[in-house]
Amino acid sequence: MIESRDHNVKEKADTSMSLETLIAMGLFGWIALSMALMGLGIW
């Protein structure tokens, strides 16, 4: 019973970790895109 609880907690931690990574990657990508557009004078 305790092992299954630990397993569920680990799964939740992994999911939240990947979600945070995805948000960070998206934010970094958006900043890079905006800088590229500013450099080209489009935005």
What is the average pLDDT value for the chain, to the nearest integer? 76
- Give pLDDT < 70 ranges for the chain: 1-17, 43
Please give the backbone phi and psi of residue 41, each rounded to the nearest 5 degrees, phi first.
80, 15
State residue 42's pLDDT score. Answer: 73
Could you give the angle at the alpha carbon of 41 between the alpha carbons of 36 and 43, nearest 5°? Answer: 75
pLDDT attached to residue 5 = 54
Could you tell me where the DSSP H helices lie in 1-43? 2-40
Q: C-alpha distances in angstroms, 35 versus 18, 27, 30? A: 25, 12, 9
Decide: 26 and 17 in contact? Cβ < 8 Å: no
The CA radius of gyration of the chain, in Å to the nearest whole number, is 18
